[in-house]
Amino acid sequence: MFTILLLLLFVNLSCSLENSEKYNSTDGILCRFCGSHLLSSDKITSKHSPTALYTVNDTLFNRNEVLVQLLSKDGFLQIPVITSSQSTCVGQEEWEEKEIWFPGYTWKPCFCPECGILIGWMFEHHNPKIVEAHDQFFGLILGNLISENFTNSLIKYPNSLL
Ligand SMILES: [Zn+2]
């Protein structure tokens, strides 16, 4: 009986260690449609939009407290979005001056460099008084992203085959 208790304790400890490791490592974030690498989870930011319909902090991409905002586009689309300081998605078209979601920022749509699907939007704050001063971030559609670690876990072989 004592041995079983010790064993259970050990298993429990190993699981806790595994979980704490899991949440500290950086995850890759991929395009859900083609697997192209878009950013690392350490580039996720928490840029609040004053027009968010709903916000929640979730554990995603091996990170705790990832800000997910439900943003409304064109009055009827409701899109869960995360923000990041970097992404390999490719901005197209001209900067749109009419603000959406983030006051003071112009924006343009941003597409997957491999398959061309809409990944989100790039936002840029222009200060006309200072030529170099612009800060940029990305709003990424959560539903179009997938975790690299999760994808890798799907293609692991069962122990019985090794
Ligand atoms: Zn893609």
Looking at this protein, which amino acid is placed at residue 9?
L
Q: Which of 71, 46, 39 is nearest to 146 (CA)?
A: 39
Give distance in angstroms: CA of 146 to centre of ligand 1.
11
Domain ranges of the chain: 27-161
The three-class DSSP label of residue 35 is coil
CA dist 68 and 78 (Å) reads 12
- Percentage of the chain modeled with pLDDT above 90: 63
Average of pLDDT values for 107-117? 97
> If you ran DSSP here, which 8-state letter would residue 61 be given?
T
Q: How much distance in Å is there from the Cα of 18 to the middle of ligand 1?
A: 31
**Separation of CA 141 and ligand 1 centre (Å):** 13
The 8-class DSSP code of residue 99 comes to -
> Per-residue pLDDT for 81 more than 80?
yes
Please list all protein residues whose beta carbon sits less than 5 angstroms from ligand 1, which is an ion: 31, 33-34, 36, 112, 114-115
pLDDT tens-digit profile of 34-80? 999 999 999 999 999 999 999 999 999 999 999 999 999 877 889 99
Cα–Cα distance for residue pair 42/117, rounded to 1 Å: 23
Distance of CA 60 from the midpoint of ligand 1 (Å): 20
Instruction: List the single range of 13-17, 116-120, 143-147 with lowest mean pLDDT.
Output: 13-17
Q: What's the CATH number for 27-161?
A: 2.170.150.20
Residue 162 Cα to ligand 1 middle (Å) = 32
pTM for this structure? Answer: 0.78
